[in-house]
Amino acid sequence: MDLRVVIAPLVAQVFLTIAIAFVMASRRYRAVKAKEVKVIDAAASNIVWPALAAQAQRSFANQFETPVLFYVLVTMVVLTKTYDTLFVVMAWAWFASRFAHAFVHCTSNALSLRFPTFLIGVFLLVAMWVIFAVKLFA
């Protein structure tokens, strides 16, 4: 299997994180320009951002929580050469759940949609780690 196929979901997640950073920056810029916040407050980090900017900020921060476990997993799977088609399919499914979660988080922020997409990603991540551990230590 081509290693690029294995790494592609990780690269997609990195670009998703970068895209959310741009969404957050754009929303913050608009809030400052519209004088919804004071720049001095923003510089001191004592700011309460308007809802859309805050949603993007929380979504961006969320990209450094469970996705870190995915980054480590992909790295370990590549180093130990324990990847297969199942891993790649599960990795893309995990990325799809992260994309859906980020989309909901940055738009409607409906918890009834956001939480299930988060849980799907967590379950997939746990399953991928268990499969990796079994392959590695069996």
- Please tell me the total number of residues recorded for the chain in this structure: 138
pLDDT digits (tens, 9 = 90+) for 80-102: 999 999 999 999 999 999 999 99
CB-based contact 77:132 (threshold 8 Å): yes
Q: Structurally, what CATH architecture does the domain formed by 3-137 represent?
A: Up-down Bundle (1.20)
Q: What is the pLDDT of residue 47?
A: 77
Q: What is the pLDDT of residue 41?
A: 60
Both tokens of 56, joined, read 């993007």
Distance separating alpha carbons of residues 16 and 14, to the nearest angstrom: 5
Secondary structure (DSSP) of 85-133: HHHHHHHHHHHHHHHHHHHHHHTT--HHHHHHHHHHHHHHHHHHHHHHH
Q: pTM above the 0.85 mark? A: yes
CB-based contact 27:45 (threshold 8 Å): no
pLDDT digits (tens, 9 = 90+) for 29-71: 999 899 888 776 656 666 788 999 999 999 999 999 999 999 9
For the chain, domain boundaries: 3-137
CA distances from 78 to 19, 81, 85, 121 (A): 26, 5, 13, 20
